[in-house]
Amino acid sequence: MQKALIYFVLGTAVSFLINYFLLSSESIALEIYYAVAFGAAWAVAYYLDTPDITLPKKLGLSFIVMAILVFIGTLIFKLELAIPSILKFSMVFVAYYVIASFRATKSLRK
């Protein structure tokens, strides 16, 4: 759990810094929201990276986290601005498991 929190903090910080300094930002709150979505994706992917959890459960939990992100984003911003958080989350989540698939253990934890 501690490493998942580290993934969350580092993913959020790196994403925010890249978006803030290299890309044009509409608002600082929106950039923080997208960075949190990015960090959450890395943390959830790392946390679920265990053979004890089945693939359907991994997908279900990731969809629940995406729904929470959209709900929170819709409360703070408009739905149109909340949707890109799902794209960021799902891209990172899939990328994590694609990278893990190249390893012999099929996991980035080991």
Q: For residue 83, is it within any domain?
A: yes
Per-residue pLDDT of the chain (110 residues; tens, 9 = 90+): 788 899 899 999 998 998 888 876 778 898 899 999 999 999 998 888 888 888 889 889 999 999 999 999 999 999 998 898 888 888 888 888 888 888 777 777 76
Q: Which of 42, 47, 51, 49 is nearest to 1 (CA)?
A: 47
Q: For residue 26, is it within any domain?
A: yes
Rounded Cα gap, residues 71 and 27, in angstroms: 19
Quote the number of domains for the chain.
1
Question: pTM of the full predicted structure?
Answer: 0.85
Domain range holding 54?
Answer: 1-102
Rounded Cα gap, residues 26 and 5, in angstroms: 27
Assess contact for 72 and 30: CB atoms under 8 A: no
Buried b (16+ CB within 10 A) or exposed e, 42-53: bbbbbbbbeeee
CA distances from 26 to 30, 34, 49, 80, 108 (A): 7, 12, 34, 13, 34
